[in-house]
Structure 1
Amino acid sequence: FLTELHWLDLSDNQIEGNIPVSNGSNPGLDLLVNTERFHFGKNQLSGEIPARLFHSNMTLTHLLVENNKFTGVIPDTLGFVQTMKMLDMSRNEFNTSDFPSWIPSLQSLTTLVMEKTGLQGSVPASLFSLHQLQTVILRNNKLNGSLEIESAHSNQLQLIDVQNNLIESFTQKPGYPFEIMLKGNPFCNKSGEGTETYCIETQQTGTDSTSLQNCLTIECRSNQVSSRACKCAFPYVGDLIFRAPSFLNLGNIATYETLEKSLMLFFQERQLPVESVSLHNPTIDSDDDYLVIHLQVFPSSQESFNATGVAGIGFVLSRQIFTPPSSFGLYVFSSDGYKYLAETSSGSKKSSSTGIIIGATVGGSVLAILALIIGIYAFRQKKRAEDAAKRIDPFASWDSNKHSGAVPQLTGARFFSFEELKKWTNNFSETNDIGCGGYGKVYRGTLPNGELVAIKRALQGSAQGAREFKSEIELLSRIHHKNVVGLAGFCFDRAEQMLVYEYIPNGTLKDGLSGKTGIRLDWMRRLNIAIGAARGLQYLHDLVSPPIIHRDIKSNNILLDANLNAKVADFGLSRFLGEKGHITTQVKGTMGYMDPEYYMTNQLTEKSDVFSFGVVLLEIVTGKVPIDKGRYIVKEVKDAMDMTKDLYNLHETLDPVVRSGATPRSLEEFVVLALKCVEEGGVNRPKMSEVVKQIENIMEIERLNPYADYASTSATYEGENKGLNHPYTESLFVYSEA
């Protein structure tokens, strides 16, 4: 077992004691010859790090032992490990020692972090010539002498941080293409040209990282922040939350600079008014183990963004149109809001007009010129009003918006005016508020004929989402199936975007599983919901021409009608399937449900929906959210699965409501079907038609008619489960629309 282990991660577990090595018949960690990563950071480990742990036959690439209580000397046998890429031994209690002479011999080294490790003496100039070296952090030691960087330094170097040491001199050369931090050294107490460049104040970010801000501190007004260009401004701020980054060392500044650069390039390509971006305070959320990075986006031309700029930036981040570097993985964006909107151009024109009037008055021709100005102003205002009316017309100017595509092709969908929907929802009153998400709110409305409708109202000013809005109108206006939510009409009036659906009274499958609706979903009802949702999805894949890929199947997008029958909803991210059997598109969807193959290749197929539906099936049978505090439902079921045992060893994983009311065979086949749907490769997943057939077979095991309604009303189930504890929680993170 030890010889086959490739990654040992024991970090952040409060483990005490010493690192064991082989002793007689007792095996130790020195047997891990094929292990590539040792992650022991943030524990209570003590004693010396055994020299026998390292040897030339190892394939070790990452050694992270930061934030422990190791003592003694740093073993020089580490110099034998030529595969080492990342070495972090920070914040331990090692003996004071000279800078290790073997470190410059690690030819594969990219990241060296040895903060507060008792190092003294000078840093060898040859260290910076390692051709793959990117980041060196040696702050808070007793390093002295002169810091010298050879002219043949690594062309990948991005940061040298030797703050708070005893370095007395530094050989300066113009045009270093990387950041050097020397604050807190005797060198910085000397005056000289260029000294301030390397001795600036840097902001600590937790215990592991440094702010990416690199301009001199300047005085700004209250609530303003200095940008990278040293300009005071009101930035747009929020948090980027990454669920599963592929790196663990928060101190590698180069990683965040890559993210910064890709963000800035993305904003430039979309012609958004952004001068610069800055990332701060990367931390690991203690509850969910997510990486959280604080983002500041600075305006390009004024001290603050106008409404259009804020809407554009917020849209591309909240809808995950921006794709981060692959090492960061999936993310969500949480905005802090923006209170500092710049004045519009019309405001400045008013000031200009006022100045003209005053000048004309001084000239003596007050009445005539004033009348002329008023006439011109009235004419312009009228033209602006006409232009505004044309812009909000639902079809006349749709093509003028380059982000919205062509005029939507509609079949039977009705156009509603803003005034009509306002009246039918009692001015969008709170009593008619029945739900909300990242797109805005959903209101209950009553048409003049008494029909109930659900009105999905986008956030005001969110016109940037015209493409998704148009997509949902087009799709829903042409599809008609009892297991797909019906579209009554839409509103594209007064800069509002609203979709009017048939009213579905019993909320979402997610709410039903959580107990929020007060309706008990037993096994029979869950099977009926599963077959309904599967048929709705099969209809989109097989019976619509061209086929439709939903792209955001999840329990929150499966609605339950008055009879608790399932209806697939929310087509804002949906796409028509291309002739090649796939679409190449930007990755969108919801974390926990997203097809990993789609995420890696950007190629969307109908099998992407199958994967998401498989996750929904696992929700149905376990009653748990897909992702909760580092737990992933797919992995949890796969790890527990043992087909040689009763109920496949899933007793603790299954929802008690399901376990107590189901035939074991039907449960087992249901889980097997769900796991087939979530196979890593799309080619190994069944088609939706096959999924439908298999659920029908499972229903027949339970002696249920797959083609008949299980119950005529939801009233049978109301109240039976109120007050019960549900394994389903509300901790799901969303990757697109909530």
Structure 2
Amino acid sequence: MGQTRATHVFMLLTLIGFFLIATEGNDQDYITIRTLMDDWGIKPQSWVGSDPCANWEGIICNNSRITAISLADMSLKGQLSTVIDLSELQILDLSSNKDLTGPLPASIENLTKLVYLNLVDCRFSGPIPATIGSLKKLSYLSLKNNRFSGLIPPSMGYMSNLTFLDISGNKLTDSIPVSNGTTPGLDMLQNAKHFHFSNNQLSGSIPPQLFSSNMSLIHLLFDRNNFTGSIPSTIGLVKTLTAVRLDRNSLSGPVPSSLSNLSNVAELHLSNNRLTGPVPNLTDMTSLNYVDISNNTFDASDFPNWFSALISVTTLMMENTRLQGQVPRALFSLENLETVRLRNNNLSGSLDIGTTYGRRLHLIDLQKNNITSLGQNNEGSNYNLTLVENPICAGSQNNIAKKYCNISPTDYSNSTPPSNCPACSSGQVASPNCICAKPYKQRLVFTFVSFSNLGNSSYFKALSDNLTSSFQNKSHPVASVSLSHPSWDSFSQLELNIEIFRSGNRVSFNRAENSAITSVLSNQILEGRPINFGPYSLLPSADPGGSNKALIIGAAIGGSVLLSLLVLVGVYALHQKKRADKTLSDSILLMQRTGISSADGPQLKGARLFSFEELKKCTNGFSEANNIGSGGYGQVYRGGLPTGQMVAIKRAKRESMQGAPEFKIEVELLSRVHHKNLVSLVGFCLEHGEQMLVYEFVPNGDLRDTLSGKSGIRLDWMRRLNVALGAARGLAYLHEYANPTIIHRDIKSNNILLDKDLEPKVADFGLSKSMAASGMNSETTVKGTLGYLDPEYYMTQKLTEKSDVYSFGVVMLELITGRSPIEKGMYIVRLIRMTMDKTKDLYNLDDILDPFIGLQTELNGLEKFVDLAMSCVEELQDKRPRMGEVVKLLEKIIQIAALNATTKNPPSTAASYEEYASQDSKDIYSRDFDYSGVFAFEDRGSSSMT
């Protein structure tokens, strides 16, 4: 009995241990998810409590750690946070969220276990970060149909496990990177099966080194780019290829004979280029279904004889290829042939199709040729023949002219229609099983298909059956799939509507089910898809959401629920107000005991009074896992409020607590200043003898950690200029727009925080001083940080805004050197003064510049930046500019740096930098500062700065 009890106790302790380990990991996952919620402005109804593994919609866990996030088509808005600390995440699917914008953060590299990343059909922009190459386990990467620009990162070559790469439908430029012994390239992706690069702005030659016999490629889709030069013969080495799209580029020269080695290729598109030489010989490409070599400048020649070897071909497109002579009768006897387009050539003589043409033959288009007569065996044929603008049609009124010299539109509106189904009520449609419902609707756009006869419903029946089985095999509640209204777009892509009907008693899918279906459809390697259909995109259907009546009913129900909720919220708010009033009274009593009357309590504008228990709960008891910083004042904790907002809580140590007046000043100052470059105060707490300030959470830490390399973030020159400008704007607001003026008194790199977009925010107002309008040059006790302290303020104890200017000048010098103000006994201001030589490039500062500053951009404007910084650290305050003037000059530097930059990997265009520099600018600049020696701008029609 005793042994059994001991065993039970041991098992219980073991379970508790496992629970505590899981909880620690789960806390971090919860904080990250709450950060994403805050960024996206969403909270699904199932996201309740602090455990994201407790059946949260779109979240999959293993051992209490998040391993998958699947939120396709969930109306997410905002950006992808730079704080994605999900170390066990393997699947991230955010596809079809068209309001997800901004850059893909460099911190994506932290998701080291990621295997599947699907961001198709969002609105991400900017360059694809080079850090994406750190995702060594990634197998599936789709960035299709976003707004990414710039270069393809060479570092992608490091993703050795990648099998699917889709970056089509973006604004990517320049050439495809290949390795050269020192840098990686896409030729290293030996396991990749899909290179989908269509519809970008890629240019230059397609590098021959990209291809080798060791590659596993099956799809090579380079269409709709700006490629020039010849088709590399090395493509013929990749024997695994089944689809090649090089159409709609500017490729030139002859088609290499090695292309004929690709015996597995079923789709070949070379149209709309500048190819020359003989019409390519495709004799050995016996698997070809679809061939399009139209609109090139091949040598004039008779119809090629290799067509007879293409036993699988369904579609032959050779428009405008300088063909001449008679069309061979044997062409039409190919068993699988559906479409022949030979428009705009010089084919002549009599057209003899014969009586043994293939049973699938659907269309023969010979417009704009020189056909003079037609064989007599075409009466009663079941194919469409078009002879418009041939001599046979000129002035003729016979039956041939009436039948073949006009173009009739073809209607394929009902490919898989339900038959003999009863009429449905408004807003519902009949499924293939004659069940009235409100289906999931989208329009599919296929990059390529292996057929051309859209009237053959068997193709679409096979696809609908396949999709139905796929959904059902994945346990989705799908009864049937209907496909309809197929058509060709201007890029030879197939479009068709898809309607998916729910099984069970409900007539429509809920939001979670819609998301799951979108996730399945956006996966371009859908298992078991018919070989006739290639990759596709999703487009919203014309009626994605049902009828207006449904919306009205939904709005009415929602309104009733909302009214009930408002009543409950009102009762709850009244209860909370009474509770808050009591807490506020307790806090005022505390202030009174420390020398502040209730009349002198904090005058708050938007800041909230928190209870100790609230802050304890949102930080998991001030757990070590949520400790994100410390200093002489105490600790800083990360927390998540019940609203989903992430906050940073500054908790003072007992021995370092400010006096009540200082605490009151900081709370009041922060509650009344609002600027995007100043950290926002959310609230404060004074219970249980504590002093706590609750700030907005700024995820990327402080500038000092970034410059030292501790944060892992590297700032290039343009980023550093933008950080300087943002911080300067925050200070200029305090000095020239706050009423009364506020002097920070502790400007330093530790007190400049970087948000998720690396936008700076000035923080820590504990030493700040509010100056009355006539209180300039006020005497005050000297406070600040060694190395940043204004020497005149230190000597005279007279504080002005120019003291902040001096400190900011030191920060500017930190930005270019990466060094602390005092390092190895050397003061940074003195070091710069001793080293500077204005007769040399970069003022002879090469050896003391931060080595990371110029990794991506040239250092245009650096000398002017140094001039400005040194003017800020002048010993006499009168010789320093005001912060408003500093802002103006930094804007000018950014414009010059952007306009004159020779970028190695430009983060943006000069125009966008100019736009950034001009935003929030106001006429707050002094007229009495001497700019000589700092700038000598050319006046190009703009107003004078002096």
Tell me the TM-score normalized by structure 2.
0.33
Max Rg structure:
2
Higher RCO, Cα 8 Å, sep 6+: 1
